[in-house]
Amino acid sequence: MSVAYRVLQVAGLIETKNERLLKLRGELKWFVELINKPRSEWDAIDEGEFSKLLREACKRVVEEANAVFSTCIAATSIWAREFRDKVGLNIIDEAGAVTLLEAVLVWRGNTPIILVGDNNQLPPPVMTINQKFENGKPVNAFDKQLQQPLLHALIENNWPYWLLSEQMRIEPGLFDPANFIIYDNKISYHPSSVLSAEGEMFEKWCGVFARECSGIFRHTPEGSAYPLLISVKNAYTFSEARGTSRGNSHYVHYSIKALLSFLKHNPSIMRNFETILESKVPGASSNQ
């Protein structure tokens, strides 16, 4: 849950049975009273104090947390910096796309740190290669060096690491292309991995969608689902400095088209979605 969500629980705007948050509700009475007060009834003092009270509420929520999740950059915000000296363990996820500079932003050097990531994923998005001076030299002379993640550097310098050789988060079959192309088939599926009901729906729908797009579709082996690959030229072109490329627009178009087609041909998924939406937002519907 986000800090904002937890703060709203403290304020009583979202239900909670968390004893720590209920304790904070009693300790932050002024904040709770103010955030529940109609904005039209606020006076000048309320307007002036709200930001300070909100920051204090956020700070207290984080202090009560057993674990705090943040991006490396967000952890450098003024109010969050003091917590970096209090953590007992730093864990950096998606470390295959984290530079050394980003890592040291959150690591104080005197606490254990664990890097978790994929050494073969896309590198950090340092996108300044097209920004050049009049003489043609790049503005960022360290562009290539910054694109090497810390995880890469440590492995190349023979630091010890543990390789997870089992894939436990994707439907059987969906990982096969990446496993063949990138990992030389060294990654296996967990023995308990079986195609879910949703996976079977996806596999059957792929053929329908391929025909809708006038494409060619071949069924995957029974019990697995291969990814649906749509060839859209320049869909991932991010090196262009002038706004969103036409390829990205096509990518979004086909993504929305695929989602609507899947929901149309799998009404049970839509009913489940409506049930979830109703439980989260009373009175809401999928049409909204």
Domain that holds residue 121: 85-162
Among 134, 162, 190, the domain boundary falls at 162
Higher pLDDT, 133 or 36: 36
Q: Could you tell me if residue 120 is inside a domain?
A: yes
pLDDT, position 226: 85
The rounded percent of the chain whose pLDDT value lies above 70 is 79
Put simply, whether the predicted model's pTM sits higher than 0.75 gets the answer no
Indicate whether 151 belongs to any domain. yes
- Asked if residue 56 and residue 23 are part of one domain, the reply reads yes
Q: Do the domain assignments include residue 247?
A: no
- Indicate if the pLDDT at residue 285 is higher than 60: no
Question: End-to-end alpha-carbon separation of the chain, Å?
Answer: 24
- List, for residues 176-216, the tens digit of each pLDDT value: 988 999 889 988 888 878 888 888 888 888 878 877 777 66
Condensed to tens digits (0 to 9), the pLDDT of residues 74-92 reads 888 877 777 877 888 999 9
3-state SS class at 234? coil
Angle at 283 between CA 277 and CA 287, to 5 degrees: 65
Decide which of 16, 39, 66 is a domain's last residue.
66
Do residues 10 and 52 share a domain?
A: yes
| Co-location of 92 and 24 in the same domain | no
Is 57 found in the same domain as 106?
Answer: no
Among 110, 127, 162, give the residue marking a domain's end.
162
> Helix (H, G, I), strand (E, B), or coil: what is residue 134?
coil
Per the structure, how many domains does the chain have?
2
In a domain, 156, yes or no: yes
Which H or E run includes 101? Answer: helix 100-106
Q: What would the pLDDT profile of 227-250 be if each residue is shown by its tens digit?
A: 877 666 554 444 444 455 544 566
Cα 238 to Cα 72, 145, 244, 251: the distances in Å are 22, 19, 8, 13
The band of 170, judged by pLDDT with boundaries at 50, 70 and 90, is: confident
Q: How far apart are CA 200 and CA 67, in angstroms?
A: 36
- Who's near 228: CB < 8 A, 6+ residues apart? 206, 209, 210, 258
User: Is 62 part of a structural domain of the chain?
Assistant: yes
Residue 71 in this model has a pLDDT that exceeds 90: no
Mean local confidence (pLDDT), 134-145: 69
Q: Average per-residue pLDDT in the chain?
A: 80
Structural domain includes residue 9: yes
Is 194 contained in some domain?
A: no
Domain-located, residue 123: yes
